[in-house]
Amino acid sequence: MNGLKTAVLLVALSLFFLWVGGMIGGRQGMTIALFFALAMNAFAYWFSDKLVLKMYRAQEVDEASAPELYNIVRRLSSKAGLPMPKIYIIPQDQPNAFATGRNPKHAAVAATQGILSLLSPEELSGVIGHELSHVKHRDILISSVAATVAAAISYLAQMGQWALIFGGSSGRDRDENPLAALAMLILAPIIAMIIQMAISRSREYSADDSGAELAGNPRFLSNALRKLDYASKNVPMQRATPATAHMFIVNPLSGKNLLRLFSTHPPIEERIKRLEGMR
Q: Can you tell me the distance from the alpha carbon of 59 to that of 49, in angstroms, rounded to the nearest whole number?
A: 13
Q: Can you tell me the distance from the alpha carbon of 77 to that of 128, in angstroms, rounded to the nearest whole number?
A: 9
| Cα-only R_g, the chain | 20
Q: For residue 168, is it left (φ>0), alpha (ψ between -120 and 50) or beta?
A: left
DSSP 248: B
Q: Can you tell me the distance from the alpha carbon of 201 to that of 8, in angstroms, rounded to the nearest whole number?
A: 18
| Residue 131 annotated in active site | yes
Choose, from 60, 68, 123, 131, the residue flagged as catalytic: 131
Q: Can you tell me the distance from the alpha carbon of 173 to that of 82, in angstroms, rounded to the nearest whole number?
A: 53
- Return the HEC string of 44-84: HHHHHHHHHHHHCCCEEECCCCCHHHHHHHHHHHHHHCCCC
Q: Can you tell me the distance from the alpha carbon of 80 to that of 101, in angstroms, rounded to the nearest whole number?
A: 17
Q: Can you tell me the distance from the alpha carbon of 41 to that of 47, in angstroms, rounded to the nearest whole number?
A: 10
Q: Can you tell me the distance from the alpha carbon of 104 to that of 83, in angstroms, rounded to the nearest whole number?
A: 7
Q: Which residues are catalytic?
A: 131
